Amino acid sequence: MIEITYEFIVGLFIVVGGLLTLAATVGAIRFPDVYTRNHAISKSTTLGVTMILVGTLLYFFLFEEHFNSRLVLAIMFILMTAPISGHLIGRAAYNSGVKLAERTVTDELERDRKKGKQANSL
Amino acid sequence: MMKTNNVILETATKVIVFIILLFSVYMFFAGHYEPGGGFIGGLMASGAIVLLLIAYDIKTVTTILPFDFKKVTAVGLLFAAGTAAGGLLFDKPMLTHWFTYVNPPLLGKMSLHTAVLFDIGVFLVVVGVTMTIIQTIGESE
């Protein structure tokens, strides 16, 4: 019985992680501009890959009695780096002048930059 | 040109560089019994330095790590050649390696092998060559 519970938990982690990663790819195809695509991919795959790694960690811990500390390190590393790479890609896109989607309501960064330029020129 | 505000990248780099360096040392010492070794360890260590080069500029990195990487390559080759010649001193063929078991306090039974010295040479050569290539390309206008 306990074996089945363990299998269920491990399988749940890996299947949910795979579905989240699939949701990220659907978002990358369906969303209108760079920023929304970046939003979908960087969040969803971070959690998806983390859950797959947690499932792997639990599998080896529960069934093989082997605690793989490299996986813990990888989970920490992905949680730290993936959002930062998303941030840098979005910033590089904005700085090189990629247009926002047409349904955008307001662009506060552009407004603030104009203000900053005026303040510098004074 | 105004310096761009890179707080997020710089702060993350301060933490992540140490994780990468730790993992490269782990990879280096795992080489004998598990996948890893001097080559991949050296590449990871130079990857950590390249991350520093991306987050900061080349002058800051040369003040953090004041090495001449060409000399690092030379020292690595010296390690490898010295290990290779070590067998000759004991009337054995060249590149003969030797190991023993020691029992230091706290650490328990360890096997010390001269192949580690050769691997240190590989590690230093890989770090030196990679960083020389990247720094010379990065500095040229």
As a whole number of angstroms, the distance between CA B17 and CA A78 comes to 14
- Give the amino acid at B52: L
- Suggest the residue from B15, B20, B21, B40 to mutate for an interface test with chain A (most A CBs closer than 10 A): B15
- Contact list in A for residue B15 (CB cut-off 8 A) is 80
Tell me how many residue pairs between chain A and chain B have CB atoms under 8 A apart: 17
Residue B81, in any domain of the structure: yes
Cα of first residue to Cα of last residue in chain A, in angstroms, is: 74
Query: Could you tell me if residue B2 is inside a domain?
Result: no
Per-residue pLDDT in tens (0 to 9) along chain B, 141 residues: 456 778 999 999 999 999 999 999 999 999 888 898 999 999 999 999 999 999 988 888 889 989 899 999 999 999 999 998 888 888 888 888 888 888 888 888 888 888 899 999 999 999 999 999 999 998 876
**Segments forming the whole domain that contains residue A111:** 2-115
Structure tokens at B78: 């010296």
CB contact under 8 A, B8 and A87: yes
- Which residues in chain A touch residue B12, judged by CB atoms under 8 angstroms apart? 80-81, 84
CB contact under 8 A, A84 and B15: no
Tell if the CB–CB gap between A73 and B23 is shorter than 8 Å: yes
The highest-confidence range among A18-27, A60-69, A105-114, by mean pLDDT, is A18-27
Rounded CA separation B133/B53 (Å): 13
Residue B110 lies in a domain: yes
The answer to whether residue A120 sits within a structural domain is: no
Across chain B, the runs of DSSP E, i.e. the strands, are: 99-102, 110-113
State residue A27's pLDDT score: 94
* Residue at A64 is within a domain: yes
**Nearest CA of chain B to the CA of A84: how many Å?**
7
What's the pLDDT at B44?
96
Query: What whole-number distance in Å separates Cα of residue A65 and Cα of residue A59?
Result: 9
CA gap B63, B26 in Å, rounded: 26
Q: How confident is the model over A75-102, as pLDDT tens digits?
A: 999 999 999 999 999 999 998 988 888 8
Identify the contact set of chain A against chain B, taking CB-CB distances under 8 A.
70, 73, 76-77, 80-81, 84, 87-88
In a domain, B1, yes or no: no
A75 falls within a domain: yes
Whether A34 is covered by a domain: the verdict is yes
The count of structural domains within chain A is 1
Going by pLDDT thresholds of 50, 70 and 90, the confidence category of residue A111 is confident
Q: What is the pLDDT of residue B141?
A: 65
Residue A121 lies in a domain: no
Using a CB-CB cut-off of 8 Å, the residues of chain B touching A81 are: 12, 16
**Domain region containing B101:** 7-139
pLDDT digit string, tens, across residues A21-50: 999 999 999 999 999 999 999 999 999 999
What is the C-alpha to C-alpha distance for residues B30 and A110, in angstroms, rounded to an integer?
A: 51
Q: Is residue A9 part of a domain?
A: yes
Residue B44 lies in a domain: yes
Q: Is residue B99 classed as helix, strand or coil in its secondary structure? A: strand
Total number of domains constituting chain B: 1
Residue B104 lies in a domain: yes
Q: Does residue A122 lie in a domain region?
A: no
Residue B86 domain flag: yes
